Structures are given as C-alpha cells and as structure tokens.
Structure 1
Amino acid sequence: MSIAYLRTPLVSTLPVGVRVQIADAMQLQGKSLPCHVISVTGPLITVAFDLAPSVWTLPQITVPLFGPEYVRYPIQPGDKGYVVAVDTPVGFSSGQASSPADLSQPGNLESLFFMPIGNAKWVAVDPNAVTAYGPNGVVLRDTASGSVITLLPGSITMTTGSCSLTMSADTITLQAPNIVLDGQLTQGTESGGYPATLQGPVTVVHDVTAAGTSVHGHVHGGVTPGSGDTGTPV
C-alpha cells in the first residue's frame, strides 16, 4: 500500500500560519463595543452590547463607570454608551479586586469601563452654558457636606452650618441664628404693596417712616385744653 503526499512549499504555507496566529492574538485584545445600561449599582454599571445578531452571544457584564469620585453622574437604565478597553484588568482601580493587576493577558471583556456617548435624542439645552440635571435634581456639596445646595423638582435648599434657605413654589424660608440685611430693603413692588407680619420683639435703631410720617419726629396738633402741639415723642 502506498501513501501519496502533497508537498506544499513553505513560502506558501508560512504566511497563512502567521495570519492565523495574528488573528488569534487580536481576538484576545480588549473589545471597545457599543452598549446600553441594564442596571446601576453605585459606580458599577451592568451593560448589554448593542450589536447585530451574529454567531457570538456576548454576555451582560458589570464594569466601572468612567470619571472621578468628585462628580457623580445619574446614569439610568437605558442610557447608551460604549465600553473602553484597558491593557490590564481594572478591578483593583475600581475596588472590585484586592490586589493590583499584572501584565498577563486579560480576557477581551475583562478590562473594560463604561463611557456615555452623546445622543441626537437628548433634550435641547443652552449650548453656551454648563447644564447639570438629573431625575431628582442636582446636589452640590463639599466633601464633608458642610455646605450643601440641593435642587429638587419642587424646591431649592441651601444649608451651611445651622443656617438654611429653602425656596419652594410660593414660599421662601430663611433660618439662621443671626440674619443681617445690609442694604436697601423693598417690601412689595405693586402700588399697594403687600402685608408684612413681624412677630417681634422688633428693635429699630433709627427712625421709622409710616405712610410718609416719621414715628420718631412727628407731632400731634390741636391739643385741648390749650393750644400748640404735643411735641415729638420721647
């Protein structure tokens, strides 16, 4: 029994083998792919990939959100973006792993983080202004929450120490141990003004003018019996 062999020149087969090895190595590289948010747990985002159906079924994965600690983005389920590949696993940087990564080759869906992307369907805003908003509003604060500005759908509250200012749809409430008004104060801009209620005690250092009449400097005329006026109040 004889066996026939087909000899293929090395110059023909070697490039094919090299291309196969290169393709296999490229498959191991991290994949930056479009995706949308499934759920949010703090700074960790679970995403599903937005790819046309193929022979590959990619799993949902949980990755860290991009950005610093000091600005928190209200990422919502359904938000679109893409994952960005890093050369090594990011678990130590994101707090998901207890030890730093080495330089060994990670899985191609292992070293990713989520980056939002602009969308033509976003609500229009002033293009020349910085705009910040979220489903429950906006919170600005220092690290220790010593001063906080909270913008909610129906109110704005500013607090620092024991002082607070709250504005709602029809009321402004100012609370503080000491309130200093340094400047001209106008109560009401209509011709009749608006009623004002003070629950005292009220101490006025200088004069008070009521309907054009000085409280400290006015006099009463037509004194009876006798003539003249009462003189100014003492």
Structure 2
Amino acid sequence: MSDSQKFPFIRAMSNMVQTQNDDRVAISGRSLPCHVVGVKGQIVTVQFDMLPDGTQYPQITIPIATFPYIRFPIQKGDKGVTVAADVSLRGISGLGTGIASNSFTASLTPLFFVPLSSAGWTAVDPDKIVLYGPTGAILKTADEKSSVTVEPGKITEKADAIHMEAKDIYLKGIIHLNGTIVQDADQMSGTTATLLGPLNVKDDVTAGEVSLLNHGHDVKNVQGGSSTITSQKPNGG
C-alpha cells in the first residue's frame, strides 16, 4: 500500500494549513498585562505579569501610546498592557530602522505600551480633568517662550506678557512687585485707586510734577505771630 493510500492527500493538505496557522498565531503579537521596569523618555521596558506556563516572557523595550504634544511621566512600577499592531513598529518608534511590511514579525516586535487605570487610585473630582506628575507639571509652547510650571508649593509663569481679566481679581498674601508699574490709559476707565493704610513709602513719591519730599506752597494773606492760614495746593518748586 502506497503512502498516499495510508495518508490521504486532502488530510495532509489540511494538516499543513493548520500547522501554518498555528505557527502564525505563535509568532503574532501578544496583548498581555505588564508593569514598567525601566523608563527612557517615552520609551519603556516592561516585564510581563504572567504565571509560568512553559512560555518564556522576557523583558522588552517598547514605545508608549502617546503624542509628541503629551509627555507622560511614566514611573517604574506603573502597570498597563501591551497592545499588538499587525506589523513591526520599530521603524516609526525609533527603536529600529526601515519601513514595516507584511512579512512574518516576531511576537514581541509589534507591541506598544498602554497604561491602565486601577480601582486603588486615590479619588479625585470626577467632573474635572486632573493633570499631575510626581513633582509637578509643565505646560509650555513648542518654542518654550511661554510656560507654566507647577511644583510643590510653587507656580512659575514665564512669558513676554501675561494677561489676566476678571471683574474682580483677589490677591491674598505678601505681594512682591519687582519691576516697573505702569498703567495703559487707553485700556482703562474708572481708575481711581483706594488704599486702606497704613502705607509706608520709602524714598520719594511724585504726583504729576510735584515731589512729596521737595515741593513748595503758594501762601496768601501772610500774618505775623502764631496765626494759622491755609496755603494753596503744592507746586513743583
């Protein structure tokens, strides 16, 4: 009896196709839980959180799912999941070279990292977006000419001009004014200022052309002795 009679051709072809499919699945990308063990910029090295099942799960270095406009402060220990693309991502992630193709790809090549939320996180206002990092946060323009940096106990704003507009602006605390103070007349109306003293002024104060420390008064109806008279308004003399 020939081999073809012992093992029918159709069955042999079916087995061959099944074997190829199994091989394809074996090398396809795997979406698995993992945690971060290394960080370099927006590239992470992750360790898979899988029970030993006869499969080796080595640490791999992969990109984070993000944009250049948002840089996540990923830390060691952060948990997430690997997500598999259909082809290699090494070219577009900078971890390799070349352009992706539909050729067979090793199972760990087309992966990227996506963080996952946890029920154990601290509670925040569910109606507000919350942005923070371990030591603060930075909001900046691409040219870095304008930025807002939030750090523990300190907020720093940097720009050529900072505009604040509101019906009422409240400042509470010691106010440090380390620069020239000016008013733009064409931008203002009802500019009378009211200060509740005491007010201490070091050095001179000039109103118009009149110096507080060095000015004269025009006096009329001068009388001798200890008489008290009312002088005219100060002049620049």
Alignment TM-score, normalising by the size of structure 2 = 0.72
Instruction: Provide closer, same or farther for how the CA distance between residues 127 and 18 of structure 1 changes in structure 2, counting only shifts above 3 A.
Output: same
SS in 2 for 1:121: coil
1:230 matches 2:237: no
**For the residues of structure 2 that align with 1:56 and 1:194, how far apart are their CA atoms?**
78
- Give 1:125 deviation, angstroms: 0.7
Computed over aligned residues only, the root mean square deviation of the Cα atoms, in angstroms, reads 3.4
Q: Which runs of 5+ in 1 are unaligned?
A: 164-169, 188-192, 206-222
The residue that corresponds to 1:90 in the other structure is 89
The residue that corresponds to 2:138 in the other structure is 139
Alignment TM-score, normalising by the size of structure 1 = 0.73
CA deviation vs aligned residue, 1:51-77 (integer Å, no higher than 9, x gap): 112111210000011110011110010
The residue that corresponds to 1:218 in the other structure is none
- Give 1:156 deviation, angstroms: 0.7
**For the residues of structure 1 that align with 2:180 and 2:115, how far apart are their CA atoms?**
45
For the Cα contact (< 8 Å) 1:85–1:113, is it kept in 2? yes
The residue that corresponds to 2:68 in the other structure is 69
The residue that corresponds to 2:110 in the other structure is 111
**For the residues of structure 1 that align with 2:193 and 2:56, how far apart are their CA atoms?**
69
**For the residues of structure 1 that align with 2:119 and 2:182, how far apart are their CA atoms?**
48
1:38 matches 2:37: yes
Q: Map residues 176-187 of structure 1 onto 2, 5 A cutoff.
A: 176-178=179-181, 180=183
Which deviates more from structure 2 when the two are superposed, residues 7-16 or residues 105-114?
7-16
**For the residues of structure 1 that align with 2:158 and 2:50, how far apart are their CA atoms?**
47
Moved over 4 A (4+): 8-17, 170-187, 193-201
**For the residues of structure 1 that align with 2:110 and 2:57, how far apart are their CA atoms?**
15
**For the residues of structure 1 that align with 2:150 and 2:192, how far apart are their CA atoms?**
28
Q: Quick one: percent identity of the two aligned structures? A: 34
**For the residues of structure 1 that align with 2:22 and 2:52, how far apart are their CA atoms?**
21
Q: Which runs of 5+ in 2 are unaligned?
A: 163-172, 209-222
The code of the aligned residue for 2:101 comes to: D
Instruction: Provide closer, same or farther for how the CA distance between residues 14 and 68 of structure 1 changes in structure 2, counting only shifts above 3 A.
Output: same
